[in-house]
Homo-oligomer: A and B are copies of this chain.
């Protein structure tokens, strides 16, 4: 009922005068229906991927008729795109340099904030979203682009800024991270690939892997 993406239905509250009662189904009902479709679709897409998900199954799971889905999304692809985009929006990882306390070391800041986020990645379905974007990326390049633009690029910018700060303060003694900010988050990608695609039976601990990466990058004596 919250955060309905701005694609199909009318905004819920028209204005503040509660007396206005339109005929027909209420906007709340509409929003609920839409959300149940989105939820069902997300679950199905995550479980089976785009090609193996059928509209009929989504409808059944959402408890609505097949045709109704087409009132909310013009096509299966639009449904997929909308669902994934909505999730991408939620996937932001927060490492804003501005939140670093005065005098706080970059490494400490990263441990305090990012490590927590990363341990949470697998709790929430963020890794699954990433997996889906990856798996369907070839067929939906636009989605991959959105993911890059909204999630990866901003994150990389922030990492770069933090690396630069660490370099200037002497916390880092070389430019490697400034030039290759991807280095910092490489263990996350590796973890997602291994845990979500290759070895579900023996998952690596992404958080621990990331902490080790922090260790080596910041040359911590073990």
Contact = CB atoms under 8 A, between A and B. Distances in A.
How many chain copies? 4
A176 B216 contact: yes
Interface stretch (A31-39, A119-127, A192-200): A192-200
Interface residues of A, number: 54
A134 B180 contact: no
Secondary structure class of chain A's binding surface, majority of residues: helix
Instruction: Give the top 6 A-B pairs by smallest Cβ distance, nearest first.
Output: A174-B222, A51-B51, A186-B190, A189-B190, A137-B197, A186-B186
Interface of A: 24, 48-52, 65, 131, 133-139, 141, 144, 147-148, 152, 173-176, 179-180, 182-183, 185-194, 196-200, 204, 208-209, 212-213, 215-217, 219, 221-222
9 contacts: A48-B138, A52-B139, A134-B193, A176-B216, A182-B191, A185-B190, A186-B186, A186-B189, A216-B217
